[in-house]
Amino acid sequence: MMLVPRSPSASPMSLRALMCRGLMSALCTTLASSRLLLAAVVLLAAPVAAQADAWPSKPIRFIVPYPPGGPLDGIARILGEHMKEGLGQTVIVDNKPGAGGNIGADIAAKSVPDGYTIVMGAVATHAINPSLFSKMPYDAVKDFAPVTLVATVPNVLVMNSANASKLGINSVSDLVKYAKAHPGRLNYGSGGNGSAGHLAGELFKSMAKVSLVHIPYSGAAPAQLGLLAGQTDLMFDNLASAAQNIRAGKLKPLAVTTSSRAATMQNLPTMSEAGAGYGLKDFDINTWFGVLAPAGTPPVIVSRLNTELGKALRSPDVRERMLKLGAEPSPSTPEQFVALIQRELKKYATVVKASGAKVD
């Protein structure tokens, strides 16, 4: 048998040395790759961090998805004034009404998530419309970064004062008794099919087991004018918009629709108090609105917005001005606002389905 001489380089010691050198080389390559990856992550994150640190460096666009002059518009302008002090930048209110608030909300959802666009979302845009409209241009949860709840506004059941007096209706119990004795005789106006007032009326009908005829108008303001003119018998109106005519004696309030009494009308019972014996014990509907940013807005910017809006909402001046509009300041954390939206989406999905309302 021929013996092949072993090369010195192939000695066990040399093989171990080669293996060690190979492992060390691979380890160094891995470490180098890791350092490069970390450097890349840092470089990619740097613009976002720098952007957040420099924010805000220009005016902020505050979209209100409703016409000028309403409660949401007025409160957005009040908040904008106070935010300017804390942020050092002008807050420009931009009204983008249409499609029940969907147009303005959609513009905000599709805006660059850099903190320079925010929107005043509401119970309609983020709780009712997703069940009411057959097709929605945005996802009420996934397309937004909630910042804070701004306010809750009780709805109020009101009647034309002269008509209420003529029919002898002075309370919720009187109303239910009359409606049961005269099925279909009473009607109620609302801002349109699927509006908060319409859904409140449908919930009232189903819980009290009464028959009322729904008269839809092209907005809450025309509906209130119809009530004042005696064209309709009653209405579930926003307390902020009904308050002036209530104080003037033109509208007779029977109850607020929330679970607790309104801060501005403590003597007015809740629907659950006034109608406890008529199936209305758990009646609870209100109007709420809050500030949201487009999904993907840096958390540090969302946090800063939450802080500045919270300061504004807790200031005595803002609170007084909002209460005059019938709105109760209700600042929250972003997490609390997310939870509210999710609860309300479920609630109104049930109410809308029961009402049969649909917008194509």
- 158 and 146 within one domain: no
Within-domain flag for 306: yes
Within-domain flag for 13: no
Question: For position 286, what pLDDT does the model report?
Answer: 85
- 261 and 227 within one domain: yes
Domains held by the chain: number: 2
Could you tell me the residue range of the domain that residue 195 belongs to? Answer: 154-278
**What's the average model confidence in pLDDT over 185-200?**
90
Question: For position 10, what pLDDT does the model report?
Answer: 44
In 228-256, which positions are buried (b, 16+ CB within 10 angstroms) versus exposed (e)? beeebbbbbbbbbbbbebbeeebbbbbbb
Q: How far apart are CA 23 and CA 64, in angstroms?
A: 62
Domain holding 339: CATH number? 3.40.190.150
- 183 and 105 within one domain: no
**What's the average model confidence in pLDDT over 218-233?**
93
Name, of 21-30, 171-180, 281-290, the range with top average pLDDT.
171-180
* Enclosing H/E stretch for 75: helix 71-87
- 160 and 68 within one domain: no
**What's the average model confidence in pLDDT over 255-284?**
91
Within-domain flag for 33: no
- 159 and 244 within one domain: yes
Separation in Å, CA 46 to CA 49, 101, 111, 282, 299: 5, 36, 22, 52, 15
Within-domain flag for 200: yes
Mean confidence (pLDDT) of the chain: 87
- 230 and 162 within one domain: yes
Question: For position 114, what pLDDT does the model report?
Answer: 97
Question: For position 324, what pLDDT does the model report?
Answer: 82
| Cα atoms found within 13 Å of the Cα of residue 120, Cβ hemisphere only | 33
Is the pLDDT confidence value at 252 over 60? yes
Within-domain flag for 40: no
- Which of 278, 298, 315 is the C-terminal boundary of a domain? 278
Stretch among 5-19, 20-34, 181-195, 211-225 having the lowest mean pLDDT? 5-19
- What six digits make up the tokens of 253? 């309030």
| DSSP-derived secondary structure for 269-329 | PBHHHHTGGGT-TT---EEEEEEEEETT--HHHHHHHHHHHHHHHHSHHHHHHHHHTT-EE
pLDDT digits (tens, 9 = 90+) for 274-333: 998 999 998 988 889 999 999 999 999 999 999 999 999 999 999 999 988 778 899 999
Q: By the 8 A CB rule, do 302 and 145 touch?
A: yes
Residue type, 97: P
Overall size of the chain counted in residues: 360
Stretch among 7-11, 151-155, 236-240 having the lowest mean pLDDT? 7-11
Would you give the distance in Å from CA 122 to the centre of its chain?
A: 4
Within-domain flag for 45: no
- 117 and 262 within one domain: no
Question: For position 355, what pLDDT does the model report?
Answer: 80
Angle, in degrees to the nearest 10, between helices 220-228 and 239-247: 20
Within-domain flag for 264: yes
Within-domain flag for 24: no
pLDDT above 90 covers what percent of the chain?
A: 66
Angle, in degrees to the nearest 10, between helices 299-314 and 316-324: 70
- 176 and 254 within one domain: yes
- 133 and 99 within one domain: yes
